[in-house]
Amino acid sequence: MTPDMCGGPIRRKLLGPARPVPAGLFVRLATYLAVLEMLVYIAQKVYMAGRGEIGMPGHPAPDSVQARFAHAGLAQAANAALGALAATVALATVTRWGARIPRWALCCALVLALVMLSLGAVATLGRPDVVGGRLGWSGVWESLREGGQLGAWLVVAVSYGLRTRPPRDRPAAGAGR
């Protein structure tokens, strides 16, 4: 066997389109919720970039953190761009054009987005007003939004992984006898 004989099928398997099973209504709703939450995140980051501050609206970072950034607006604009990329990744799991992206690349992007969103949720829930028990309605709303967003992204990631997994080869009936 030559390397081309072995490399061709492997290359086709890794770089070929995912061809997922079409997403059901629940998965599509979770995907649209994840995209909507990312659009809200983008709007918040663009707003903070315009103000030239680090943090989220209503909760700017302390002055010691602000001092570490020479270009806070640029850092916030980069965060907004990452949010746009994450929204695109979520949409790719349920659209036709997303089927052109190799499965391994989209799965890695989904896992990375889920990890980053989890870290953001930890940062939100670790704020002094949340930890100190002085949680007002805005804090409750933010906590519910973070939980909903994480749940939606979890549904998007798990459903994509399950819908695109390759079929298993089953032995023929009576082959093991």
Query: What pLDDT is attached to residue 146?
Result: 82
Q: Measured at the alpha carbon of residue 87, what is the angle toward residues 82 and 91, in degrees to the nearest 5?
A: 145
What confidence category does residue 154 fall into, taking pLDDT thresholds of 50, 70 and 90? very high
What confidence category does residue 33 fall into, taking pLDDT thresholds of 50, 70 and 90? very high
- Mean pLDDT (whole number) for 130-156: 77
Query: What pLDDT is attached to residue 7?
Result: 58
DSSP H/E element including 144: helix 137-164
Q: Where are the domains of the chain?
A: 22-163
Which pTM was predicted? 0.75
Q: Which residue has the higher pLDDT, 22 or 130?
A: 22
Q: Is the pLDDT of residue 77 over 90?
A: yes
What confidence category does residue 115 fall into, taking pLDDT thresholds of 50, 70 and 90? very high
Non-local (6+) Cβ contacts of 139 within 8 A are 127, 129, 130
